[in-house]
């Protein structure tokens, strides 16, 4: 089952990076508390344009996932930056991704202040931009219900990782020139759930934290201001999509989750087949860009 392995490798990369790097040392917990309590206004700052990628050199020297940190203007985000750098979480994850994918050119993973709660993929720079504001937003959201610091960090990271894998999907579609028929936003959400479904206990947080956020946002939305024009599906649709596919990845294990999440039975019935189909389709697209020797590392 070589096809199944590369999701598992990424999933394992996610959960192993988590276990090894977020050992929750006293220092990290202290930093995390600083993040939790940091407040204040901040200045909106535009990202510097990183160096543009020369796409005429495709595959000439191969590409790598590379992690970088844009200079901070607002010191409020320093604790988050320090936790990320000291844990080397994304560096370890990038190393796993480099073992899995054959890239024609580099994909940069950049942490930056964006002036908004967001993350995005910049095709010009071939860069996944992860905004500190987004991580902070997951931290504030998670603080509402996490009972311990450990739960809080896991939950913050789970939400952040879901968004990261969503952006990774956009990056792979662009850099590997993968065909997409239908809404790309939905396609990359589906890839994010597939990878989450292979990331064990940590993957459950990756799916549940953003799903809960979409559900809350969707139920609080003013009916007159629903963004029907948006390239993303509506928040409640994204919520049900994540729950349906995650349930579909292992119906017997996640039956209670589907019930608690109020996934209607008619839809739930179709979710395992939907998951299988999307899994096979993404596999077909990614397989030619995956190293054949990756399965030996774990």
Residues found near Zn ion in the complex (CB under 5 A): 185
For residues 150 and 86, what is the distance between their CA atoms, to the nearest angstrom? Answer: 17
Q: How far is the CB of 164 from Zn ion (least distance, A)?
A: 11
Q: How far is the CB of 232 from Zn ion (least distance, A)?
A: 7
**Cα–Cα nearest to 278, from 236, 249, 239, 238:** 249
Q: How far is the CB of 231 from Zn ion (least distance, A)?
A: 8
In the complex with Zn ion, which residue's Cβ is closer, 72 or 178? 178
Q: How far is the CB of 162 from Zn ion (least distance, A)?
A: 11
Q: Tokens 């024609």 identify what position?
A: 104
User: CB nearest Zn ion: which residue?
Assistant: 185
In the complex with Zn ion, which residue's Cβ is closer, 232 or 289? 232
Q: How far is the CB of 27 from Zn ion (least distance, A)?
A: 34
Structure token pair of residue 153:
């960090």
**Cα–Cα nearest to 157, from 131, 173, 172, 138:** 138
Q: Tokens 């942490």 identify what position?
A: 111
Coil, strand, or helix at residue 200? helix
Q: How far is the CB of 62 from Zn ion (least distance, A)?
A: 26
Q: How far is the CB of 57 from Zn ion (least distance, A)?
A: 27
For residues 205 and 203, what is the distance between their CA atoms, to the nearest angstrom? Answer: 5
In the complex with Zn ion, which residue's Cβ is closer, 82 or 185? 185
Number of Cα atoms under 13 Å in the Cβ half of residue 162: 29
Coil, strand, or helix at residue 23? coil
- Using DSSP bridges, classify how beta strands 119-122 and 127-131 pair: parallel, antiparallel or unpaired: antiparallel
Q: CB within 8 A of 205, min separation 6: which ones?
A: 154, 155, 157, 158, 159
Is residue 126 a contact partner of residue 107, using CB atoms and an 8 Å limit? yes
Q: At what angle do helices 265-286 and 184-196 cross, to 10 degrees?
A: 90
In the complex with Zn ion, which residue's Cβ is closer, 97 or 129? 129
In the complex with Zn ion, which residue's Cβ is closer, 129 or 263? 129
For residues 88 and 16, what is the distance between their CA atoms, to the nearest angstrom? Answer: 12
In the complex with Zn ion, which residue's Cβ is closer, 16 or 129? 129
In the complex with Zn ion, which residue's Cβ is closer, 153 or 278? 278
């Amino acid at each position: 089952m070589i096809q199944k392995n590369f999701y598992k490798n990424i999933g394992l990369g996610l959960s192993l990076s988590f276990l090894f790097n977020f050992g929750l040392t006293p220092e990290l917990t202290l930093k995390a508390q600083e993040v939790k309590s940091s407040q204040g206004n901040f200045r909106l700052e535009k990202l510097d344009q990183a160096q543009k990628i020369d796409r005429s050199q495709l595959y000439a020297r191969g590409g790598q996932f590379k992690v970088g940190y844009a200079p901070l203007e607002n010191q409020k985000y320093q604790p988050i930056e320090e936790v990320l750098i000291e844990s080397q979480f994304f560096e370890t994850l990038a190393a796993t991704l480099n073992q899995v994918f054959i890239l024609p050119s580099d994909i940069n993973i950049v942490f930056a202040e964006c002036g908004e709660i967001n993350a995005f993929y910049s095709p010009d720079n071939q860069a996944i931009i992860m905004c500190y504001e987004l991580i902070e937003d997951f931290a504030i959201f998670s603080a509402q219900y996490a009972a311990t610091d450990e739960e809080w960090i896991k939950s913050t990271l789970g939400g952040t990782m879901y968004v990261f894998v969503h952006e990774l999907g956009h990056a792979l579609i662009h850099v590997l020139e993968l065909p997409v028929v239908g809404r790309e936003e939905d396609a990359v959400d589906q890839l994010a759930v597939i990878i989450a479904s292979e990331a064990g206990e940590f993957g459950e947080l990756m799916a549940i934290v953003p799903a809960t956020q979409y559900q809350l946002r969707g139920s609080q939305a003013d009916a007159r201001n629903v963004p029907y024009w948006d390239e993303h599906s509506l928040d409640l649709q994204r919520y049900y999509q994540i729950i349906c596919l995650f349930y579909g990845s292992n119906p017997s294990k996640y039956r209670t989750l589907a019930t608690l999440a109020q996934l209607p039975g008619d839809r739930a019935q179709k979710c395992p087949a939907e998951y299988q189909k999307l899994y096979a389709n993404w596999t077909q697209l990614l397989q030619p860009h995956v190293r054949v020797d990756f399965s030996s590392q774990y």
